[in-house]
């Protein structure tokens, strides 16, 4: 089978497509014929050995797949050859065939394409865990979403609106602002590219405050980090919840005096560990996502697809932080 491989530490240009042996489903596993694999920011980090997980090389990037069951391992019930599935795999998804634990698979509805399905789980499951379990977002509260035009950002807008919140989206361009509005954002703040000096940081904080209103943000969803963190934190409400989701702009240095002044919480969001520690709670979240998807309240937005041999180009575009919605690598028809 063909696979996009990381054989040496480096950027997307180091990835190569090679033929490797087909995997075999062991006990408790499913062998999946991969049809589509979405791209996420961890794919940028993992090939540079900058992610918290470092799989042994050679490995394939890609944590989120959609495909068809090709073989069922011993002891597996409820799945048959030909079933359509979506799953998260940590890494290894940009291949023609992949073995996954049967427990990690979810059934893809017949009316949904493989491209759509591959773009659902990681972003929306991360976000529903963040907003519900960590942020405890309530109806009528105000949610500020940074990086609001990316995959997790658009998911946060849609889920925030589905849960009855007022949503303020923060983005870096007018095109991204329009994507945020299309997803349901009530208002948009357009910010510049960091790093920021002291005056620029203060000006951004004032922009957030103006859009949020005097009460501030009850919940802040931050998949960006960097110099955007402090201005956002300065706009948080009394007893607000700041959700730490990711750091494509760098790991920020947080002035802890702000947390005292606002009596607010800073909450880490590590969905993968949550799903592993409490699989039943994760399954309940995914079931809720499927209901919202069926009802049209969430819709993964895929803005570009790439064939397997151009998977590195997709990761490079993600690294440039210039993506609206999701990118998907198509492996087979």
Name the strand (E) or helix (H) holding 330: strand 326-330
* Confidence label for 332 from pLDDT (cuts 50, 70 and 90): confident
Q: Residue 118: exposed, middle, or buried by beta-carbon count in 10 A (0-12, 13-18, 19+)?
A: buried
pLDDT tens sequence across 50-107: 888 899 999 999 999 999 999 999 999 999 999 999 999 889 999 999 999 999 999 9
pLDDT of residue 68: 98
2-120+301-330 CATH? 3.90.180.10
pLDDT of residue 90: 84
Tokens of 116: 């759509």
Cis peptide before 127 (omega within 30 of 0): no
**For residue 333, pLDDT beyond 80:** no
Across 127-147, average pLDDT: 98
Asked if residue 98 lies in contact with residue 1, where contact means CB atoms within 8 angstroms, the answer is: no
Task: Report the half-sphere exposure of 224 (CA within 13 A, side-chain side).
Answer: 30
Cα–Cα distances in angstroms (integers) from residue 302 to residues 42, 189, 292, in the given order: 18, 23, 18
Calculate Rg over the CA atoms of the chain. Answer: 20
Domains of the chain, residue spans: 2-120+301-330, 123-272
Asked if residue 220 lies in contact with residue 249, where contact means CB atoms within 8 angstroms, the answer is: no
Give dist(CA 116, CA 326) in Å, integer. Answer: 10
Alpha helices in 102-224, H assignment, sequence order: 114-118, 121-128, 151-162, 174-182, 198-212
For the segment(s) 123-272, the CATH number from 3.40.50.300, 2.40.128.50, 3.40.50.720, 3.40.50.10490 is: 3.40.50.720
Asked if residue 87 lies in contact with residue 109, where contact means CB atoms within 8 angstroms, the answer is: no
pLDDT of residue 324: 95
Tokens of 165: 């919140």
Asked if residue 86 lies in contact with residue 66, where contact means CB atoms within 8 angstroms, the answer is: yes
Tokens of 67: 């495909």
Give dist(CA 230, CA 130) in Å, integer. Answer: 20
Q: Across all residues in the chain, what is the average pLDDT?
A: 96
241: closest CA among 122, 124, 133?
133
pLDDT of residue 44: 95
Asked if residue 199 lies in contact with residue 111, where contact means CB atoms within 8 angstroms, the answer is: no
Cα–Cα distances in angstroms (integers) from residue 27 to residues 100, 101, 190, in the given order: 11, 9, 51
Report residue 316 CA to chain centroid gap. Answer: 17
pLDDT of residue 193: 86
pLDDT tens sequence across 272-300: 999 999 999 999 999 999 999 999 999 99
pLDDT tens sequence across 194-241: 899 999 999 999 999 999 999 999 999 999 999 999 999 999 999 999
Cα–Cα distances in angstroms (integers) from residue 1 to residues 15, 33, 85, 105, in the given order: 16, 10, 20, 22
pLDDT of residue 52: 84
* Confidence label for 249 from pLDDT (cuts 50, 70 and 90): confident
């Amino acid at each position: 089978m063909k696979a996009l491989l990381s054989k040496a530490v480096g950027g997307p240009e180091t990835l190569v497509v090679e033929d490797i042996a087909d995997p075999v489903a062991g006990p408790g596993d499913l062998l999946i014929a991969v049809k589509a694999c979405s791209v996420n920011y961890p794919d940028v980090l993992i090939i540079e050995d900058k992610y918290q997980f470092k799989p042994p090389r050679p490995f394939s990037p890609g944590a989120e797949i959609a495909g068809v069951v090709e073989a069922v391992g011993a002891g597996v019930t409820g799945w048959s050859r030909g079933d359509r599935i979506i799953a998260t795999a940590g890494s290894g998804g940009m291949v023609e065939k992949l073995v996954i634990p049967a427990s990690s698979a979810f059934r893809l509805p017949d009316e949904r394409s493989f491209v759509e399905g591959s773009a659902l789980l990681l972003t929306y499951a991360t976000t529903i865990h963040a907003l519900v379990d960590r942020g405890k977002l309530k109806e009528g509260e105000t949610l500020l979403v940074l990086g609001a035009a990316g995959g997790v950002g658009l998911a946060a807008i849609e889920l925030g609106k589905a849960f009855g919140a007022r949503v303020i989206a923060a983005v870096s361009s007018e095109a991204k602002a329009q994507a945020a509005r299309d997803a349901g954002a009530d208002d948009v703040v357009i910010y510049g590219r960091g790093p920021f000096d002291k005056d620029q940081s203060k000006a951004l904080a004032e922009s957030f405050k103006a859009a949020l209103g005097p009460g501030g943000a009850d919940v802040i969803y931050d998949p960006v980090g960097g110099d955007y963190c402090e201005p956002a934190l300065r706009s948080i409400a009394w007893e607000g919840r700041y959700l730490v989701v990711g750091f494509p702009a760098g790991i920020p240095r947080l002035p802890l005096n702000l947390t005292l002044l606002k009596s607010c919480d800073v909450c880490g969001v590590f969905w993968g560990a949550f799903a592993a520690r409490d699989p039943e709670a994760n399954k309940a979240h995914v079931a809720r996502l499927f209901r919202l998807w069926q009802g049209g309240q969430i819709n993964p937005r895929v803005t570009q697809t790439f064939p397997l041999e151009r998977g590195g180009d997709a990761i490079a575009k993600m690294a440039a932080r210039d993506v609206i919605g999701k990118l998907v690598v198509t492996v087979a028809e």
